[in-house]
Amino acid sequence: MTTCIESACSRNNAERRGLLFLLPPLLRLLLLTGLLPQTTAEEVDFEARIRPLLLQHCGNCHGPDAQEGGLRLDVRSTFFAGGNTGAVVTPQNPAESELIRRVTSDDEDLRMPPEGPRVSAEQIQLLLQWIRSGAIWPETEYDRNAVHDTRLDHWSFQPVQRPEVPHIPGQPQATPIDAFILQKLQLAGLKMSPRADRPTLLRRATLILNGLLPTPAERTAFLQNEADSAWNEVIDQLLLRQGYGERWGQHWLDVMRYADTHGFEVNTPRETAWPYRDYVIRAFNEDLPYDEFLRDQIVGDVRGEDAATGFLVCAPVLLPGQIGKDEESIRLARQDALNEMITGTGNAVLGLTIGCARCHDHKFDPLSQRDYYNFQAFFSGVLYGERPLNSSESRSRSEQAKALEPRITELQRAIDRHQLTARPGSVFVIDETDPDLTEVLLPANGPGNNPQGTEPGFLDFPGNAE
């Protein structure tokens, strides 16, 4: 038993000698001479003395509003988790604790806090005793609330729940949705509008699903169909039309900011944008499941849907001639292009404006700047450009175009035979009065009616270089 006690004393003495070596000279002197109050571990009240100390000297850089180096020191869980460089304390071993090394350092690059009043000798003694006693930190409501991200409380981040369908007696309810509508109407003191007549219903359905009015023949056929299934038959027919994908696909294309031009000031035509547009139309007409729809657009090149990856590059982008030649401009243009991919994907798929996190953590959404650049990594291999589509439809079109090349060449030669060939030094003179060379679209208003004179606009003006 005596040996164990002597070993413990030896460890404590070694700890003190190592710690004293780290302390500034004046503080070492105070500790060696015993002029500092010798507070025991039992006397250190964490909530009354340690937490206020940490907030006072460390809170500006490592508190609720800022966590430099990924370190927050006023909350239990984040304190013991440490920062980017590791743990800040080693319980029961002050000499190995980074916190003590920093608050006692004379090195301006290491000492903490870097500015303002230093941690006093008495406060350092409190930290020493607290760490030596095991760095006991009772968790409080402050600690629990501090690690709860209140931004997650927004309704849009809550799990989806299926509510109970309200019972509204005495009211026609074709679907459960009607019950919820009726409930809100009753609370507002309102009631349903009168039921629309059949021509109005047909007009609404065709405009909504196909974007066009019904033809007279369609209107007549619907009005003459007295079967109970007439309405469902009309809806099925409208959903099967090509116009359905064209009408409803435009909503997705609007979300993705699709255009047939490159955007920005020049806004030059983007000749090969249409395959992505056609893919979206086809996906809607084929009733492609939403998860498959998204996969195609993000990794369509490995799923046999090359055209779908236009989703990633349909946003505005600077063309090579619009980008400066210096390294900074090239890097900025690349970051701008990646930002368009991130912003478009976030808006369309997540319903969040991720772009703000390019420069700072979001203030209201649970998105950090780190999240933004983690997200960017998914798109880092994507470049704006053009390449042949790897699809059976594209290959078939290429074969058709190749088969038409001889006929196109033949027609071009026939056109060339009727065109005048310009050669260096040649002059073409066309007599505008020759009916074989000109066609009069409006009655002639000259020449010959100009007044006499040699000035510009007069009859005898000889002409000049202008």
DSSP character string of 8-54: HHHHHHHHHHHHHHHS-HHHHHHHHHT-S----GGG--IIIIIHHHH
Count of Cβ atoms closer than 10 Å to residue 235 Cβ: 12
> Contact 43/125 with Cβ under 8 angstroms?
no
Retrieve residue 246's tokens: 């064209």
Span 11-27, average pLDDT = 46
pLDDT band at 266 (very low <50, low <70, confident <90, very high): confident
CA distance 104 to 112: 8
> Contact 126/49 with Cβ under 8 angstroms?
yes
CA distance 420 to 289: 58
Give Cβ neighbours of residue 330 (< 8 Å, ≥ 6 apart).
323, 324
> Contact 94/129 with Cβ under 8 angstroms?
no
Tens of pLDDT along 415-434? 888 776 666 666 666 666 67
| Amino acid 17: pLDDT | 45
| Amino acid 421: pLDDT | 65
CA distance 281 to 241: 11
Q: Is the pTM of this model over 0.85?
A: no
Max Cα-Cα span within the chain: 135
pLDDT band at 21 (very low <50, low <70, confident <90, very high): very low
Count of Cβ atoms closer than 10 Å to residue 58 Cβ: 22
Candidates 187, 205, 57; CA nearest to 120 is: 57
Q: What does the DSSP 8-state code read for residue 83? A: B
CA distance 437 to 446: 18
DSSP character string of 198-230: HHHHHHHHHHHHHSSPPPHHHHHHHHH--STTH
DSSP bridge partners of 210 = none
Query: In whole angstroms, how far apart are CA 303 and each of 292, 296, 308, 385, 427?
Result: 10, 7, 10, 19, 59
The distance of Cα 294 from the centroid of its chain, to the nearest Å, equals 15
pLDDT band at 90 (very low <50, low <70, confident <90, very high): very high
User: Does residue 65 surpass a pLDDT of 70?
Assistant: yes
Query: In whole angstroms, how far apart are CA 225 and each of 199, 200, 215, 219?
Result: 12, 15, 16, 10
337-341: which pairs have CB atoms within 8 A and are 24 or more residues apart?
Answer: 337/384, 338/376, 338/379, 338/380, 338/382, 340/315, 340/316, 341/312, 341/313, 341/315, 341/379, 341/382
Span 366-388, average pLDDT = 89
- Stretch among 228-237, 341-350, 383-392 having the lowest mean pLDDT: 383-392
User: Does residue 392 surpass a pLDDT of 60?
Assistant: yes
User: What does pLDDT average to over the chain?
Assistant: 84
Candidates 435, 255, 426, 440; CA nearest to 353 is: 255
CA distance 460 to 450: 9
CA distance 463 to 466: 8
Retrieve residue 361's tokens: 């953590």
Q: If you compute the radius of gyration of the chain from its CA atoms, what whole number of angstroms results?
A: 39
Residue in this structure with the two tokens 């003179």, named with its chain if needed: 429
- Stretch among 94-98, 209-213, 460-464 having the lowest mean pLDDT: 460-464
C-alpha dihedral sign at 410, 413, 417, 419: positive
